[in-house]
Every structure is written in structure tokens, then in C-alpha cells.
């Protein structure tokens, strides 16, 4: 099946009891056992079935199957947010004394998790000097357990060289974990380029309506965990946290995601609510259509901004003179994501005026919504980073990030036009851009 069809049908054949065509919301915490023996068999992993929603829920199972299929993976685990997906994808195989090698261009909370929170648990992250796979390779050593990147960096917009990163990671016996939130499997499927695990914030494009947090971890089933019994002993030896199961033996290709579910999620509980699972399923059904419109609207917005006299610069990977162009061309073909950044002439004060003047664009930190959204990363999503860290992850102080929505393009351009008009009227008063109380220089 093609993605458009997968997004609507995979994982659900209708409800045999009620004949419901829409996926039901199984808003229940637990599931009844037929007998003590049945319960024991479920716990012993001898039969398949539902036990308790913290471990799995039938509504969420449909979503898991659908996203796994869209990404070309063998199995997936849904969790309560994108950040939970990122944390679980790593703590499943990384522990005290080991390290992660990451590209530097990351979403702010991911950067904070890797740079400031994991080190407190004895896990270090080595950020490469650039997104060149050679720079990444230099940092990998015997204690490296994962190479991490975003397929399209938020908000830098860089498209990662997934093939190159997978090659260097695999040469050193390490999996490549890719956050595919911005690209979505409609624009890019990292597993096709060698990624071993794909994570998502479904909160964004997959949901598409700005109503529900959710995350997903997709296992490609391709990483040879058995070849590294010492390094990935947690998948190769009896698991004390789950009935002594040996994941690679019991779950085969889905060993990694099975451990995510039964150790990480079962014991720390960042579970997706079935209600959110249902809402996210509504989003998935129209993902391909929405992405098509997002992409086209963003292209027109980028062209409009580039030609506007009040705009200093536009970072859009669709312009042939943009440094991101060739990598984007290689991995996204003629399409580009709908996230772009720009700077207004007149510095911080002009930027602030433009930002404050939006009517249609909502001033907020989300992205991937049907609605057009504007964000000032330096004062919001990346605010907890120092100015040096901000530059490292691709954030400049004056940068305004747009998540171009699926409204009519004329209305989107009209809003940009009136906001930029107000910015043009900025006098030379030397006021720094202060948004959310942060002064940007």
C-alpha cells in the first residue's frame, strides 16, 4: 500500500463485535483475564493480549501499527509525548558510563536532555562540530551506544545526511536514532536510508490539529543487537525487570521496541492516553494531504518573503543558493518542509514589531498545526540555552520561525504583508528584541 492508503487503513479491520468502522476509544485501564491460567500466560508472554493500558491499549495499538507501517518499521510503541519517545529510545540502550554522539542542531528540550539532564545520570553526549558524518565518526568510541539526529533540524532546517550517519554508526556497531518529527514519513522515511530507530513527536504534523501530545518509537528491526552481546547486554541477557526474558530471542526483530514497552514504559509510565491515541489517528488519516498543502504554502511564503524589501534573510532549503539545498534535494526530492525561518530588516525592534503584529499567525511554540504559527525560538523553545548554545543548535537572536499552515495562501500572505508593513515603520530607537522577557542580542 502507498502511504496515503496505509494512513487510513493499516492496523484496523473493523470491530468484530460492534462493526464500528472508526477505531474505538478503549478508555479502560485494565483488561479481564479469562482465568488465572490465562493471566499467567499473558504475563509469561506465552499468549498475546492486553493486560493493562500502561503496557498497551488496543486504540494505541492501531496507531502504532499505522506509524510503523508508514515508516517501514517492524513495530512501534506509542508514548505520551515526543520527549518521552526520545528519552525512552535512548535509556533503553544507554546507561551510566556510556555516551551518545549527536548532531548539534536539535530541538531545545532534546538538547537540554542530552547536554544537561543525562550527564547527571552519568551519560554524556558528544555534540559533533558540524552535521558532517566525518565529524560524527571522530567522536564515536567503545562507550558510544547511539548516534542521534533530527532528520530535519528544528529550527535550523538542516537535512541530516542519514546515509552517511548510518554508515559511520554501523561501522562502529552503533544504531542510528532519528527524530523524524518535522519531515514526517510523507516527506522522508529514515529507515530507507539506514536509520535503526525513528522517533516522533506526534504532537506536530501527525496530529495536525494542535489538540494532543503524543510520541512514537519505531523499530526498523534491522540493527543486529545479537552481534554485540556485551554492549547491548540488556537485549541479549535475561532481563531481571521482566521475567528473565531474553529480548532478542523472544521478540526477534522487534527486540528493541519490546524492551522499550516492557521495561521503560511499564516501569516509568509515560503512556499515551487512548483518547489522545484516537485524536492522533484522526490526524494520521489526512497527513499526506495536509503535508502536500503545507509544503506548497511554505514554498509560496518563502518566495514572498525573499522578495520583500523589509526582510533581511530567509532560510528556506528550497532556494538553490541556500547551503541546505543540496542535502534537502537528496533526501526530500523537490519537496521541502513547511518550517522556515527569517529575519526582519531593522534588527530586534523590527523583528519584535513584525512578531507582535501577526493576526492570522498564532504566536506560539508549537508547529505542524493546520493553523499557521510563528515562534521566536531564542525566547521560547531554546530559551534555556545560553547564547552560545543557541548558535550551536542553529538559533539566532532575531530569528522568527514560521510553521506555515494549510489556510488559503492569500490569507497567509496578507497577514505577513501587514505585519511586515508595520515592521518597516520601525524608527531607529535602539531597543533590543524582548519577547517573553528575554533580551536578544
Give the binding site for ligand PLP (CB under 6 A).
81-83, 107, 109-110, 150, 154, 179, 181-182, 201, 203, 213, 215
CB of 152 to ligand PLP, least distance (A): 8
Burial of 304 (0-12, 13-18, 19+ CB in 10 A): middle
CB of 365 to ligand PLP, least distance (A): 7
**What is the dihedral sign for C-alpha 224, 252, 4, 315?**
negative
Instruction: Count other Cβ atoms within 10 Å, centred on residue 163.
Output: 16
CB of 308 to ligand PLP, least distance (A): 27
CB of 53 to ligand PLP, least distance (A): 19
Closer of 166 and 213 to ligand PLP (Cβ): 213
In angstroms, the CA 151 to CA 138 distance is 20
Closer of 137 and 369 to ligand PLP (Cβ): 369
CB of 368 to ligand PLP, least distance (A): 8
CB of 110 to ligand PLP, least distance (A): 6
CB of 212 to ligand PLP, least distance (A): 9
**Which residue is closest to ligand PLP by CB?**
82
SS3 state of residue 221: coil
Is residue 79 within 8 A of residue 265, CB to CB? The reply is yes
CB of 310 to ligand PLP, least distance (A): 28
In angstroms, the CA 237 to CA 94 distance is 15
Closer of 45 and 109 to ligand PLP (Cβ): 109
3-state secondary structure labels for all residues of 273-313: CHHHHHHHHHHHHCHHHHHHHHHHHHHHHHHHHHCCCCEEE
Closer of 70 and 156 to ligand PLP (Cβ): 156
Instruction: Pull the grid cell for residue 329.
Output: 534535494
Closer of 150 and 349 to ligand PLP (Cβ): 150
Closer of 346 and 394 to ligand PLP (Cβ): 394
Is residue 292 within 8 A of residue 329, CB to CB? The reply is no
Closer of 71 and 150 to ligand PLP (Cβ): 150
Q: 3-state SS of the chain: helix, strand, coil percent to 5? A: 40, 15, 45
What angle in degrees, to the nearest 10, is found between the helix axes of 287-306 and 409-424?
30
Closer of 203 and 426 to ligand PLP (Cβ): 203
Is residue 375 within 8 A of residue 346, CB to CB? The reply is no
Closest residue by Cα to residue 211 from 70, 441, 368: 368
Amino acid at each position: 500500500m502507498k502511504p496515503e492508503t496505509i494512513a487510513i487503513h493499516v492496523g484496523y479491520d473493523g470491530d468484530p463485535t460492534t462493526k464500528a468502522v472508526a477505531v474505538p476509544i478503549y478508555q479502560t485501564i485494565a483488561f479481564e483475564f479469562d482465568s488465572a491460567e490465562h493471566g499467567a500466560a499473558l504475563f509469561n508472554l506465552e499468549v498475546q493480549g492486553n493486560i493493562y493500558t500502561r503496557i498497551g491499549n488496543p486504540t494505541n495499538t492501531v496507531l502504532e501499527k499505522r506509524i510503523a507501517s508508514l515508516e517501514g518499521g517492524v513495530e512501534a510503541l506509542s508514548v505520551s509525548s515526543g520527549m518521552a519517545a526520545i528519552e525512552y529510545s535512548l535509556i533503553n540502550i544507554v546507561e551510566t558510563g556510556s555516551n551518545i554522539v549527536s548532531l548539534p542542531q536539535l530541538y531545545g528540550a532534546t538538547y537540554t536532555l542530552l547536554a544537561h539532564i543525562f550527564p547527571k545520570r552519568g551519560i554524556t553526549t558528544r555534540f559533533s562540530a558540524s552535521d558532517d558524518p566525518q565529524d560524527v565518526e571522530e567522536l564515536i568510541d567503545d562507550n558510544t551506544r547511539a548516534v542521534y539526529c533530527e532528520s530535519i533540524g528544528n529550527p535550523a532546517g538542516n537535512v541530516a545526511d542519514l546515509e552517511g550517519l548510518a554508515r559511520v554508526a554501523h561501522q562502529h556497531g552503533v544504531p542510528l536514532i532519528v527524530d523524524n518529527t518535522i519531515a514526517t514519513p510523507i516527506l522522508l522515511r529514515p529507515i530507507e536510508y539506514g536509520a535503526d530507530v525513528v522517533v516522533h513527536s506526534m504532537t506536530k504534523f501527525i496530529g495536525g490539529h494542535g489538540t494532543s501530545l503524543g510520541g512514537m518509537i519505531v523499530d526498523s528491526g534491522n540493527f543486529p543487537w545479537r552481534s554485540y552481546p556485551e554492549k547491548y547486554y540488556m537485549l541479549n541477557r535475561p532481563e531481571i525487570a521482566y521475567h528473565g526474558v531474553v529480548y532478542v530471542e523472544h521478540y526477534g526483530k522487534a527486540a528493541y521496541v519490546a524492551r522499550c514497552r516492557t521495561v521503560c514504559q511499564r516501569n516509568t509510565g509515560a503512556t499515551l492516553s487512548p483518547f489522545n491515541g484516537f485524536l492522533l489517528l484522526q490526524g494520521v488519516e489526512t497527513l499526506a494531504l495536509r503535508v502536500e498543502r503545507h509544503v506548497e504554502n511554505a514554498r509560496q511564503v518563502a518566495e514572498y518573503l525573499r522578495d520583500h524589501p523589509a526582510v533581511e534573510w530567509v532560510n528556506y532549503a528550497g532556494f538553490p543558493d541556500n547551503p541546505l539545498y543540496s542535502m534537502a534535494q537528496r533526501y526530500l526530492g523537490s519537496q521541502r518542509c513547511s518550517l522556515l525561518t527569517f529575519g526582519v530588516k531593522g534588527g530586534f525592534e523590527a523583528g519584535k514589531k513584525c512578531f507582535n503584529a501577526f493576526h492570522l499567525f498564532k504566536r506560539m511554540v508549537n508547529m505542524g498545526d493546520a493553523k499557521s504559527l510563528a515562534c521566536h525560538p531564542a525566547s521560547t523553545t531554546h530559551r534555556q540555552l545560553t547564547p552560545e548554545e543557541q548558535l550551536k543548535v542553529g538559533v539566532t537572536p532575531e530569528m522568527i520561525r514560521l510553521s506555515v499552515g494549510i489556510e488559503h495562501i492569500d490569507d497567509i500572505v496578507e497577514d505577513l504583508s501587514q505585519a511586515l508593513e508595520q515592521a518597516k515603520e520601525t524608527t531607529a530607537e535602539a531597543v533590543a528584541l524582548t519577547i517573553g522577557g528575554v533580551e536578544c542580542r
